[in-house]
Structures are given as C-alpha cells and as structure tokens.
A = this chain, B = another copy of it.
Amino acid sequence: MAEEAQRRRGRGGGGAARRAARSAVSFETARFIERNIPNFEVLTEEALEIIETNAETVLEEIGVNFVENPAALARWRAAGADVEGERVRIPRGLARQLCKTAPATYTQHARNPDRTVQVGGKSLVLAPVYGPPFVRDATAGRRYATMEDFRKFVKLGYMSKWLHHSGGTVCEPTDLPVNKRHLDMLHAHMTLSDKPFMGSVTEPSRAQDSVEMCEVLFGKEFVQQNTVMTSLININSPMTFDDVMMGSLEVYARNNQACIISPFIVGGAMAPVSVAGTLTQVMAECLAGIAYSQLIRAGAPVVMGAFVTSIDMNSGAPTFGTPEAAHITYGAGQLARRMGLPYRSAGSFCGSKLPDAQAAYETSNSLNMGLLSGVNFMLHSCGWLEGGLVSSFEKFVMDADQLGTLHHLAQGVSMDESAQALDAIREVGPGGHYLGCAHTQEHFKTAFWKSDLLDYKPFETWEDEGARDTQALASLRVEKMLGDYQQPPLDPAIDEALTDFIVRKKAQEPDSFM
C-alpha cells in the first residue's frame, strides 16, 4: 500500500491531487527565521569552561543511569564507559568526542517543499505547544482535550503565518486509547496541514509507526535519505535515561530522523537551585544523551535541548518567564553553540490559568529571551497555558501573532541608502511631518510590523465595538480561522494509504487507556 501510494505520488501528484491543488486556498506562512542579529551572551569564556569541566566531572565521577535498557549499557561499555549496574560513568572527553558526528544543522522536510525548514546555525523554527491534557477556550472553559480539539489546533497552526512547524502533541486527545492515539495525531498533522511535524515518543513501537506513516506520506526511500520528523526525547532529570524515551530515540536515530534531546528541569526539584549548577547538569545530560544518539547512528541529526524553569519555593509550583530561566536559557545557548549543535529552548511559557496579563508578561519574557539566546527550534512557541497543563485556543492565536515580532526583530537594521533616509530628512525639515513624504509613501507598507490581532483603534471606536479585551478579540479570531480553514491538497491515494495503515494498526491490539 505504501509503495503504491509512493508510486502514484510521483512528480506533481496524480490528477486528483492536481484538481485538489487548483481549488485550494493557500495560507501564507513565513519562511523560518534567519537571524541577522547577534546572540545575547551572559556567560564569560571562563564561566563556560568551568561549566564544561564540571559537566565532564559529573559524567566521569557521578555518571548517568540508563534504565531497563541492557542494550544501551552494552553500547556504552563497548564505547569505553564504565558501566556498573545501570550506572554509566563516562570518561572525561568521551561523550564530547562522540557528539562530534552530530550535524551542526539539518533540513527537516515538509510534504510541501515551501514549508521545509533548516534547524541549526542562525535559523529559528517555531512550533506550537506540546503535551497538555487539557484545553481551554473562553466559551467552554477548561476541560480534558479531545481529538477534535487536536484537529482544531493543527488547523490553527496550519493557518498561522508566523508558525513554521505543525508540532506534535498540540494537546493530548484523551478520548482516544493511549496505545492508538498517536496514529490519529500523526494523521491529523499529515493531512490537515502541510507543515513539518513531530513523531510519537510514548513507546518505541509508536516511534516505529511514525516512521512507517512517514514512509507512506513521503515514500520509503525519501524517508531513509532525508529527515522528515523532529521528535522530543526528554531526559528524566537528574541524569536518568529511561527505556521508553531511549527506545524511541533509538528508532528515530536508526532511521536518520531528528530528535531533540532535552533535560526537563524545574530548578530546585530536578536540578540545583543555582543557574551555574543547573547548566552543569544540563550540559552533562545533553552530552550523555547526544553521545548515545551517535552510538546508535553516527551522524543522526539531534538538537541540544533545555526545558528549564524555576520553582516557587513556597508552593512548589513551577514558575515561568523568570530571570533565572532566562539566565539558564542564554547560558545553554552558548554551550550548544560551543558544541556546534542546534539548540532548543524557550516558548510561550506561563503559569497563569487564563490568557491574561500574567500569561502575556511571562510569555513575552520567554519568547524574547528565546530569540536572543540563539534558539534554533522553539517548541511551545504558542498556545501554552497554566504551566503546560492547558492548550488555550485564544492564547494560541495571541502568541502566534506575537511571533511576528520575533521575525522582524531578527531581521536586524538595514543600512542601505534608502534606509538612511537623508533625503527624507532634508525634504521634511525642522517642524514638518513625514506622513506624506516620498520616502514614507515608498516604504510605509513594509516599514513596521503590524499585529493581525491586537487593538490599535481609537478609544471611542473600541468602546463602541464592545470594549473587548485581548481574549475576546482572540476568541473571534479562532472562530474566524476555523471557519475559513481549507485543507491543503494531498494525493487521495496517499490519504487512503494512510487510513489503511491506521485501520490495520488499530486492529492489531485492543484499546488501552493506561
């Protein structure tokens, strides 16, 4: 079936695909960000060396655990590590040496080549929120997420101009069996959007299913020769690599598919309360995880990740958009660049229960720091609410709008003769105004970034229209976008092959909600 689909797909697709393409509405998507501004660096050369040295000490003296994974232990032993039970102690320099085969940048292909992204170097790829079991909107409030919610988020992501990536678990479809929902989630990304996406990591077999579905979508040979997924492999900080995540990593690395290898840290709980201590642990964990990916397949694409936030020591609640999280994010970016690896961090993080001012303060703090810290892949860049428990429809479109500011900031400052505008200053002179001058007429359409959502109206107009706050404007936008949505064209044979694959897979085992 997969082969047939691949054959039918060919160059330019079949007649049905061409018909679909002719009638489809195209939604504009910005090219991934290529920074033309410097990175912000908080750590000195000396500080970076201390952290790197300490990270090697952690690996050599304390070590990391690879849990319930005898094959991993055997691989480490063969590579020269000291293995004792499940503890792997890695001689100084070995992990860093192994990491050297990981590429500095890679290309993740989308089924629409215009949506293909580069990850690494000066690029920044923006992907939506990942993982929340709940959703919220202004009308129905907070509730468990369903597959229907999931599809809506994929549609919103597809239509969001500043979002380059469709993401993965945009919310957890809790109405579907745990052991089968990955099939429906992937199907939604593959068919409702044409942007790049992420694979399943909740079981190695589901990672394998993800690879096979990609083989149906892209063709088997294409998948083996190209990266078509970037998936999220969390490290159980401190210093624990579990068999589920490592098993999924093994599947992806073997198939040349990219993984973000990412400590998941709430500072003070899973890492020391200090920035330098947390960075040391992040560095050690990333070294071990990335080295392991290269033991599976040298050259497999990986992203050095850091999901790090602080904690409210009174309540134990994770806190977001905090200065300590910023320090760690800036510092981890410096460490990743010294490794020559793509870097994942930051996002639309907030602890707020509502898409209110708290949510926006915390989110903006994190988005801005993400851009300036040199992040190459930003998961959770829109839609995150309530510490990641909730995917918010309104916040999704609010954040997605703000992502436009990152695109324009990253462009840097043009210094060409027209931008210098000496003629305009001469034309207008002291006491004049620039609204009608030739330079303004020529450039006003592109000169300033403009929100598609926020309120710029005069007070009286705004009041007459109902004195709406941002959440109310966002609700209207969500409704309008979902109403305007049109599915991107896909060869019906591929669509059918995907459905067949899913039906077959679902029939192979009973539903499980555990």
Evaluate contact between B238 and A428: CB separation under 8 angstroms.
yes
**Shortest distance in angstroms between A375's beta carbon and chain B's nearest beta carbon?**
15
Report the interface size class on chain A: 35 or more
* Chain B residues positioned under 8 Å from A363 (CB to CB): 361, 364
Inter-chain CA distance A225–B263, complex, in Å, is 57
Evaluate contact between B238 and A352: CB separation under 8 angstroms.
no
Q: Given that A238-B428, A430-B240, A469-B356 are known contacts, is A450 also in contact with B368, CB under 8 Å in the complex?
A: no
Nearest opposing residue in chain B for A450, CB measure: B312
Nearest opposing residue in chain B for A462, CB measure: B353
**Shortest distance in angstroms between A470's beta carbon and chain B's nearest beta carbon?**
4
Given A42-B412, A268-B444, A324-B449, 20 further pairs, Cβ under 8 A: A42-B413, A64-B430, A238-B434, A240-B431, A268-B435, A270-B433, A273-B421, A273-B440, A273-B443, A274-B419, A276-B420, A313-B447, A322-B405, A322-B448, A323-B407, A324-B448, A361-B363, A361-B398, A361-B402, A361-B454
Task: Name 9 A/B residue pairs within 8 A (Cβ), A-sorted.
Answer: A65-B431, A272-B434, A276-B419, A314-B450, A321-B405, A322-B408, A351-B455, A361-B398, A361-B454
Evaluate contact between B270 and A449: CB separation under 8 angstroms.
no
Evaluate contact between B357 and A359: CB separation under 8 angstroms.
yes
Within 8 A of B (CB), among A31-62: 37-38, 40-43, 46-47, 50, 54, 57-58, 61-62
What sequence of 0s and 1s flags, for each residue 97-114 of chain A, a beta carbon within 8 Å of any chain B beta carbon? 000000000000000000
Nearest opposing residue in chain B for A61, CB measure: B426
Q: Given that A42-B412, A276-B413 are known contacts, is A444 also in contact with B313, CB under 8 Å in the complex?
A: yes
Evaluate contact between B274 and A430: CB separation under 8 angstroms.
no
Inter-chain CA distance A447–B323, complex, in Å, is 10
* Chain B residues positioned under 8 Å from A431 (CB to CB): 65, 236, 238-240
Nearest opposing residue in chain B for A355, CB measure: B357
Q: Does A271 contact B (CB under 8 A)?
A: yes
Within 8 A of B (CB), among A349-380: 351-365, 368-369, 372
Q: Given that A363-B361, A421-B280, A422-B54 are known contacts, is A272 also in contact with B439, CB under 8 Å in the complex?
A: yes
Q: Does A192 contact B (CB under 8 A)?
A: no
Q: Does A267 contact B (CB under 8 A)?
A: yes
Q: Does A326 contact B (CB under 8 A)?
A: yes
Nearest opposing residue in chain B for A39, CB measure: B40
Evaluate contact between A280 and B422: CB separation under 8 angstroms.
yes
* Chain B residues positioned under 8 Å from A54 (CB to CB): 420, 422
Evaluate contact between A469 and B354: CB separation under 8 angstroms.
yes
Q: Does A23 contact B (CB under 8 A)?
A: no
Q: Given that A323-B449, A365-B364 are known contacts, is A470 also in contact with B358, CB under 8 Å in the complex?
A: yes
